[in-house]
Amino acid sequence: MQPECGDALTKEQVMKKDLGTEGNRDCQGKRFWGNVLIWMRGGAVLTKIVLLCIFLMPWALVVLALPNAERFRNAFCRISSKGMGWFISHINGAKLVVKGKIDDEDEACLWVVAQHASLLDVPAVMELRPKVAVMAKKYVSHNLLYGMTAKALGMFSVSDGYENVVDEVEKFIKNGYCVAIFPEGSRTKDGELHRFHKGAFYIAEKLGLTIQPIFIYGTFNVLNRNEFKLYSHPIYVEVMDKITKDDMRFGKDYRSRTKAVELLFREKMAEYKNKETNMVSSVNSPFIENKLKK
């Protein structure tokens, strides 16, 4: 009996050289054209990134040249936020689903964002609110394509420890910005939630900030760091309940809060994984059209 397309071959089938049969040739053909489609989608995403950066670059130049033009900077942030929303919504096969809401009039606070799994995490976060500054690695601000736009939007880097950016975070907060930090530090390679670093919670304790947990799920299944291929999968962004500085349920100091909030995210991760049966992922079957099950 010939294996179904996508099924793993048994050792006996390999030994019998069944790979040369007509059925398996059909499967190989479907896989080939499925991979071609995935690469084409990846190329389309790259094109959209380049176009978005080119569109925002002149605005970024003006913002950087006029650092005191706060009204112009606010307008630039709003345009960029809309652009991020357009970018996410026009990725073939990806559907952004936001649970909860962040109002522009809400107090400025510290966003703790996880899971950090893809380049798509930052656009998904910046779409939530115009005035949000994202802490990123140093190479982001030096990138020739989007480094200038990142600086104009308020992205900043940490290279010598979180203690050295407390003053910079405080400046953003006073200017009405929320500050987003990915406590995992870098994008996951395996799709799992990794250990949280203490820096974000140290900053929140030092400045007496409210913590806004934001959970992201699905970006790894759309575009992960291991390969430049685009798959079909919904992207979920959930705005969770805020954690005030006086909320003792999550501990009394930044060390205990780090562990407690990490546990909160792990529980949320398990919840979404349990709902995975209601999603149709294209990771294992890239040549099949994928849709959400109703």
Express each pLDDT in 144-177 by its tens digit: 777 788 888 778 887 667 777 898 899 889 988 8
Average pLDDT, the chain: 78
- Residue 260's pLDDT is what? 95
- The verdict on residue 26 lying in a domain is no
Reply yes or no on whether the pLDDT at 271 is more than 50.
yes
- Residue 2's pLDDT is what? 46
Q: Which domain holds residue 115?
A: 44-278
Q: In this structure, which long-range contacts are made by residues 85-91, counting pairs with CB atoms below 8 Å and at least 24 apart in sequence?
A: 85/127, 86/52, 87/48, 87/49, 87/52, 87/123, 88/120, 88/123, 88/124, 88/127, 88/235, 90/48, 91/45, 91/48, 91/120, 91/222, 91/230
- The verdict on residue 228 lying in a domain is yes
Reply yes or no on whether the pLDDT at 290 is more than 50.
no
Reply yes or no on whether the pLDDT at 270 is more than 90.
yes
Q: How many domains does the structure of the chain reveal?
A: 1
Cis peptide before 13 (omega within 30 of 0): no
- Residue 125's pLDDT is what? 87
Q: Exposed (0-12), middle (13-18) or buried (19+): which is 71, by Cβ within 10 Å?
A: exposed
- The verdict on residue 20 lying in a domain is no
Give the whole-angstrom CA distance, residue 141 versus residue 151.
6
Pairing of strands 178-181, 156-157: unpaired
C-beta of residue 110 within 8 angstroms of C-beta of residue 203: yes
- The verdict on residue 205 lying in a domain is yes
pLDDT in tens, 82-112: 777 777 776 666 788 899 988 766 778 999 9
- The verdict on residue 35 lying in a domain is no
- The verdict on residue 68 lying in a domain is yes
| Kind plus residue range of the DSSP H or E element containing 213 | strand 211-217
State both tokens at 281.
Answer: 């992922």
Give the whole-angstrom CA distance, residue 112 versus residue 212.
6
Measure Cα distances from 171 to 70, 83, 243, 244 in Å.
14, 25, 21, 20
- For the entire predicted model, the pTM comes to 0.75
- Residue 24's pLDDT is what? 56
pLDDT in tens, 245-263: 999 999 999 999 999 999 9
Residue owning tokens 């989007």: 146
Supply the CATH number for residue 244's domain. Answer: 3.40.1130
Q: Exposed (0-12), middle (13-18) or buried (19+): which is 87, by Cβ within 10 Å?
A: buried
Query: 284: helix, coil or strand?
Result: coil
- The verdict on residue 290 lying in a domain is no
Give the DSSP letter of residue 288: S
- The verdict on residue 201 lying in a domain is yes
